[in-house]
Structure 1
Amino acid sequence: MATTVDDCRQALHDLAAKLDANAEARGKLDLDRTLACRITDLGAAFHGRITGGRLVDIADGDDPKAKIALVTTGDNLLALVRGELDITRALAARQISIKANPFDLLKLRKLL
């Protein structure tokens, strides 16, 4: 299946909705960071902000100064959001890359 930029945009909005629905159950997460999502095979990027266990302000375009950067292909992003791709295995297999401060990575694990 050929993934499009619109598919990736929708996947990020779906992820934001899932995080929003689960934010109260997880409790407030002490993390307020900018996020960039770079889709390598489509040459596209999105950015937003993770705050209080939620993903907000999703917009098109890269944020080179983002504190957290997710780099992957469109197909892997969709599989990750749908729960078909385990993030730990995907990181180990280099299907995705997350560039972040090690302490932020530990906090991110609580979200996923």
Structure 2
Amino acid sequence: MATTEECRSALDRLSDNLARADGDVRGAAALDRSLSCHIKDLDVTFTGRLGGGAIQVVDTLKGPPRDKAQIRLAMSGDDLVAMVNGELNFAKAWASGRVSLEAGFRDLLRLRTLL
């Protein structure tokens, strides 16, 4: 099972990947939205912002998200690490229910390019 530190590191790597992206991916990552990522097996939530083409993690909280972020993710720590490492396809994980993504309709349309 992935640790909280490994999950935080994976989010940092994801942020770095988004910052280096081009084209449609860069456009989708350029949203300015609040973000939460709940790691269900650790019962930890990372909160922050997606903005300027990167993810800025602001806080790590015990338990589920306290506030409703504009973009909300939920998954296991192992799935987060596997996705960032390229070992798990996000679209397949989302379709199978391993990953939950909630956002407004317009944001989902823009974020689909990240899938």
Q: How would you bin the TM-score normalised by the shorter chain?
A: 0.7 to 0.9
| TM-score normalized by the length of structure 2 | 0.84
In the other structure, the counterpart of 2:94 is 91
| CA distance 1:99–1:85, shift in 2 (3 Å) | same
| Percent of pairs with identical residues | 39
Match for residue 111 of structure 2 among 92, 95, 108: 108
What whole-Å deviation, never above 9, does each CA across 1:35-73 have from its counterpart, x for those lacking one? 000000001110111123321244312452211110000
RMSD: 1.7
The whole-number CA distance in structure 2 between the counterparts of 1:5 and 1:56 is 16
Report the residue type matching 1:88 in the other structure: A
In the alignment, is the contact (CA less than 8 A) between 1:53 and 1:111 conserved in 2?
no
Q: Which aligned runs of 4 or more in structure 1 are off by greater than 4 angstroms?
A: 27-30
The size of the alignment, in residue pairs, is 109
In the alignment, is the contact (CA less than 8 A) between 1:37 and 1:69 conserved in 2?
yes
Q: Which runs of 5 or more residues in structure 2 are unaligned? A: none
In the other structure, the counterpart of 1:18 is 17
In the alignment, is the contact (CA less than 8 A) between 1:48 and 1:55 conserved in 2?
yes
